[in-house]
Amino acid sequence: MKTVIIKYNAGNVQSVMYALDRIGASYLYTDDEEEIRSADKVIFPGVGEASTTMNYLRKVGLDKVIPTLKQPFFGTCIGMQLMCRFSEENNTECMGIFDVDVKRFPATPDLKVPHMGWNNITGYKTALTTGLPDDAYVYFVHSYAAPVCEYTVASCEYVLPFSAMLHKDNFYAAQFHCEISGDAGQQILKNFLDII
Amino acid sequence: MLTKRIIPCLDVKDGRTVKGVNFVNLRDAGDAVELGALYAAHGADELVYLDITATVDGRSTFIDLVRKVAHTINIPFTVGGGISSIADVSALLHAGADKVSINSAAVKNPDLINELSLEFGSQCIVVAIDTRYIETENGQEHIVHTHGGRKPTELRTIPWAKEVEDRGAGEILLTSMDTDGTKAGFALELTATISGNANIPVIASGGAGNMEHFYDVFTAGKADAGLAASIFHFREIDIPDLKKYLHDKKLPIRMTR
């Protein structure tokens, strides 16, 4: 199986590679369109700011490639947000795979933004959560989130309920960091690679 | 619900953990990777590795260690100790660290906090503040210290904590040198003031001696995370017991088994 991790100007991709190493999966880290199109699985991870990462994707043309991919595709963290329609982070038009807008967490007394740490996810409706305990804890670091919508397949609550995972056709996404979310995160990555 | 985090801190010298460790199932207690993996398996929510090596050779050994830790464990970890430049941070993040902690360098050059958060994102920049309550010309005040808490600076702790947040820190690691090593409990009042003022998470450190101290720092101290070293290393508190205790007391805690 050929798994590609999309190379772009987002940080923290190294941890994702290590996580794949831990589950014994090989991968290619590339921004080459042909390599991406011919992959069996595509992972789109990363930490970053919406407008900078989106501008980069536009510059190299990946913003047009990604929405047309047919194989199972998994975006995490900023990757997930870029798959939505729009992000309030510097008012960024994103790729629009999921027709939902990413919004900043409203300021609330005693609830800090970013939402940083372990929180539980509920309401599983995706193959990616197979084998997870109910209310599995996963690790989040983010200030913006997609509200619960028709594509939500796992949700979480912080200030408001929000989408922890999205799914539409071959596109999967998670707001949290699977790669550092303990056994639960590892299971989700493994489930993604196991999708036929 | 967002949980309160329990964070063991490992001091590393020349690639090996220092401070006595007493784990029967560990082949090599000085092996920083193995010890970290054990803590992760015990339910630690995050780890901090602090490099206390001063030499250049030690620094590259530490980066090798960071790479091994990142390869082995599947929870977040922060690295700190002697970080003073964008190049230092870049090397550590590329090796697989999730966050870096800066201390003296931030005091010496506060603009470094802005530069690092712009370059790498706030989420991975932890500013460590070592503080001591001392006599000043204005009476007793909380003053930021450097050099392992030995050297007082001109900075007052409470406004400095606000400043590091404004400059782009993603998290504050607050160590009270007054309580550190006493096992008499965390500095609750100061932690509560700083965490109450902050819109970023505050990790409390210094003074943990029993499980109740963690309960206190998460409630009265308003801390988002509690860090300790020797009580975990010497197994005076086992992390699974601590998490069960806090969970039974109705605090939001990530239970792993």
> What are the domain boundaries of chain B?
5-248
Q: Rounded to a whole number, what is the distance in Å from the CA of B126 to chain A's nearest CA?
A: 12
CATH of the domain at A159: 3.40.50.880
- Whether A149 sits among the annotated catalytic residues: the reply is no
Neighbours of B166 (CB within 10 A): 11
**A115–B74 C-beta distance less than 8 A:** no
For residues A27 and B45, give the distance between their C-alpha atoms in angstroms, rounded to a whole number: 28
Q: Which residues pair with B51 in a beta bridge?
A: B12
**B2–A14 C-beta distance less than 8 A:** no
Q: Is the CB of A139 inside 8 Å of chain B's CB atoms?
A: yes
Q: What is the 3-state secondary structure (H, E, C) of B137-153?
A: CCEEEEEEEECCCCEEE
Chain A interface test: which of B125, B194, B254 (most A C-beta within 10 Å): B254
pLDDT score at A61: 97
Q: Rounded to a whole number, what is the distance in Å from the CA of B197 to chain A's nearest CA?
A: 10
Helix (H, G, I), strand (E, B) or coil at A100: strand
Structure confidence by residue, pLDDT tens digits, B188-207: 999 999 999 999 999 999 99
Structure confidence by residue, pLDDT tens digits, B66-123: 999 999 999 999 999 989 999 999 999 999 999 999 999 999 999 999 999 988 889 9
Handedness of CA B113, B120, A106, B204 (dihedral sign): negative
Structure confidence by residue, pLDDT tens digits, A83-126: 999 999 999 999 999 999 999 999 888 789 889 999 999 999 99
For residues B144 and B151, give the distance between their C-alpha atoms in angstroms, rounded to a whole number: 9
The architecture of the domain spanning B5-248 is Alpha-Beta Barrel (3.20)
Query: Which residues from B are below 8 Å from A when comparing CB atoms?
Result: 1-3, 5, 40, 45, 70-72, 74-76, 93-96, 98, 120-124, 170-171, 198-201, 224-225, 254, 256
The total number of structural domains that make up chain A: 1
Write the CB contacts of A59 (distance below 8 Å, at least 6 apart in sequence). none
Range of the domain at A112: 3-194
- Examine the pLDDT at B20 and tell me if it is beyond 70: no
Interface of A with B in 169-188 (CB under 8 A): 177, 179-183, 185-186
